Homo-oligomer: A and B are copies of this chain.
Amino acid sequence: MVGGGQGALIGGVHRIAARMDDRFELVAGSFSSQLERNRATARELGVAESRCYADYQALLAGEAERSDGAEVVAIVTPNHLHFPAALACLEAGRHVICEKPMTLSVDEAQQLAAAVEASGKRFVLAHNYVGYPLVQHARELVARGELGRIRSVQVEYLQEWLSEAPGPDNRQAAWRLDPARAGATGCLGDIGVHAFHLAQFICGQRVSEVSAELFNAVPGRELDDNVHALLRFVGGARGMLWASQTAPGFENGLSIRVVGEKASLRWAQESPNELHFSPLDGPAQRLTRRDDRLGADIARGIRIPGGHPEGYLEAFANLYQALSDGLNEGTETPWLPGVEDGVDGMHFIAATLASSRAAGAWTALQGAGGAP
């Protein structure tokens, strides 16, 4: 693991997720650039002192010397380190599971895609929300044609935790609001890109153009904390995307509605064990996470019966499970987010920034395959 020292949030999540199905063991890490924090974290996690490294370079060098060196590296640092660390890992022949946004620029993203290709190693991007079984089922409903042609996609990701200027001890907030570590965007890169990925994932269409307005609700911030955007998809669907980190009352409100000619569906991350499907010609249905009603591929990621709620950690663990399946069985899990999703995400960020600066002009996502 690179990153994830004491006080970090997402590192702990990765560790639980990796442990859930007993497929991974945490053997080495570079948890923090601060020496003491690094060591203390290793001790707490039971990682041998000899395998607690000062930085990712040292980690890769050290592990390379061992016959039992780490096979997979989880990169859970602030944004600016995703790219160099991931690149180094791939070049060192390690599989990677990396936090989003994948890089700080489209150019880096493309370099990383090339590196994945060249390395022949697995690269998983932590768009964890598609690990929810019912998100995968939503995608399947669309793919099967149950909604007919898609008309409108409404996706939103709302949080309240940056509604006010954060206190000095808020490590999570500190780097996210700092362009040097977060990159050129705040809310857009932190959560907007999750919403973007979810929309593309379920609809099976790539976004071709965006018309956006970024703004700051809290004065004095260098980076956006709100995103209002209109979308156009390659297949002709239209959409709207709303992201905010300054929305009181919303804890982690990622949700999506997809309207098709024959039916609509909606799913919300805070109630992840239900999926609503509303056909034009009959009553609305509430679908639940039941392995006997979902496809076999999806059912792999279901550990307990319907009615026994699974949550964020289980969905996250499904990424690790699928990575492990892929390594063990040599298979590809179609829903597992990879480096191409990261390239798309960086295109989305770039186009959204450009559109917002150009007074909302419709701006193409490079490489998305052209406007509808």
Which A residues are closer than 8 A to B by beta carbons?
9, 12-13, 15-16, 19-22, 45-46, 151-152, 154, 159-161, 163-164, 211, 213, 215, 217, 226, 228, 230, 238-240, 242, 244, 246-253, 259-264, 269-273, 277-280, 282-288, 290, 293, 303-314, 359-362
Contact = CB atoms under 8 A, between A and B. Distances in A.
Contacts of A272: 309
A252 B305 contact: yes
B248 A262 contact: yes
A238 B215 CA distance: 9
B259 A244 contact: yes
Given A230-B228, A309-B272, A152 B247 contact: yes
Given A285-B284, A361-B359, A244 B152 contact: yes
Which 4 pairs between the two chains have the least Cβ-Cβ distance?
A249-B278, A251-B307, A252-B307, A309-B311
7 contacts: A12-B303, A230-B360, A246-B259, A248-B280, A250-B264, A252-B306, A284-B286
Contacts of A152: 217, 226, 228, 242, 244, 247
Given A228-B238, A242-B152, A248-B260, A307 B19 contact: no
A277 B284 CA distance: 10
Nearest to A271: B271
A242 B240 contact: yes
A16 B20 contact: yes
Contact of A310 (B9, B238, B250, B311): B311
Nearest to A44: B22
A319 to B, nearest CB: 15
B304 A13 contact: yes
A113 B159 CA distance: 43
A160 B290 CA distance: 13
A213 B230 contact: yes
